Structure 1
Amino acid sequence: MNATYTIRDAKPEEFQTIGELMVKVYAQLEGFPKPVEQPTYYDKLANIGNFTENPETRLLVAVSSEGHIGGGVVYFGDMEYYGSGGTATHEKNAAGFRLLALDPDVRGGGLGKLLTKTCLDIARTEGQKTMVIHSTKAMQVAWAMYESMGFERALDLDFMQGELAVYGFRLALRKG
């Protein structure tokens, strides 16, 4: 399946479609707050392209050869713009990614891993020392994938988003 998808920076005309996909995916997560419970969060998802207005921040998209958007993720080359709760925005020599979402029709084919690897490759190219991410109990499939890729729980990055516990992870990208 990966052979038919390319990961690249999203084009502004794709931002709305990616935002709609993000809202749909996150709203369907069992145990995750619904739009009525966290409207500000879902507004950020719907307007996902706004993140690209920040320095060193990219919206990456997985696009099939037929033009289907299979998923997306926001990459942060400067943690100052990561926008989470907790201490993650103070991380130095670190990059992060957030808001990875896949079209339910393409889940299980390795596209989430491909988006994650692309973020890791960008961070390594930039010379970052660490990759920081967050997940929730509602995202167990992603959580397991991150751990299989070497991410380790980082309790110091945990925070509460309203009533939702959000768990931090780190991956060392280089020694030193």
Structure 2
Amino acid sequence: MEKAFKIRNASEKDFRKVGKLMVKSYSQLEGFPKQSEQPEYYKMLANIGELTKKPETELLVAVSDEGKIGGAVVYFSDMQYYGSGGTATLEQNASGFRLLAVDSQLRGIGIGKLLTTECIEKAREKGHQQVIIHTTISMHIAWKMYEGLGFKRSKDLDFMQEKLQVFGFRMLL
């Protein structure tokens, strides 16, 4: 079923839909801070298209043949624009991605993996030596996918987002 989705850059017409998908996905994660606890984070998710104004930043979407957006991720080919806490923004010769979200009704069919591998390919095309990502304990289901693709835990990239522990992963290319 993975083949039924194609990856492309989001258009401005997609931004609101993707923002709603992001807010819904993150608010449904067990143990993840709620909108009332981290309103600025959810505001950023709702306005996800704004991130594309940063240089070297792309909002990628997985779109079905029928035009349904099944998932999205933000890819950064220059880590200084990555926007996380910790030391990730200082990484050189690296790409990163953040804010991976898949429609809850479409989980488990490979959309997250498709978006992740697209980001890895973009990093390879740039000639980068590594890909940096962050995740939380609430997103532990994705950890297996990341590790299966070759990402390794990198404690040097860990940080706290308010009261939320954020874990760094790195893939060497």
TM-score band (shorter)? over 0.9
Q: Deviations over 1:20-75 (max 9, x none)?
A: 00000000100000000000000110000011001110000000010100000000
Tell me, in whole angstroms, the C-alpha distance in 2 between the residues paired with 1:80 and 1:43: 21
* Aligned residue in 2 for 1:131: 131
- The aligned residue for residue 49 of structure 1 is 49
Aligned equivalent of 2:83 = 83
Query: Following TM superposition, where does structure 1 have runs of at least 4 consecutive aligned residues deviating by more than 4 angstroms?
Result: none
Task: Provide the rounded CA distance (Å) in 2 between the counterparts of 1:52 and 1:32.
Answer: 25
Equivalent residue for 1:172? 172
Counterpart code for 2:41:
Y
**What pairs with 1:84-123 in structure 2 (closer than 5 Å)?**
84-123=84-123
**Aligned partner of 1:133: which letter?**
I
Pairing of 1:144-159 with structure 2 (within 5 A) = 144-159=144-159
Q: Give the TM-score taking structure 2 as reference length.
A: 0.99
1:141 maps to: 141
Paired with 1:39 and 1:128, the residues of 2 have a C-alpha distance of 34
SS at match of 1:171: strand
Q: Which residue of 1 aligns with 2:6?
A: 6
Task: Note the C-alpha offset of 1:76.
Answer: 0.2
Per the normalisation by structure 1, the TM-score is 0.97
Query: Structure 1 residue 144: deviation in Å?
Result: 1.3
Measured on the aligned residues, the alpha-carbon RMSD in Å equals: 0.5
Q: Secondary structure at the match of 1:58?
A: strand
Unaligned runs of 5+ in 1: none
Q: How high is the sequence identity, in percent, across the aligned residues?
A: 60
**Counterpart residue identity of residue 86, structure 1:** G
- The corresponding residue for 2:34 is 34
Matched letter for residue 77 of structure 1: S
Segments of 5+ residues of structure 2 without an aligned counterpart are: none
How far residue 165 of structure 1 moved from its aligned partner, in angstroms, is 0.2
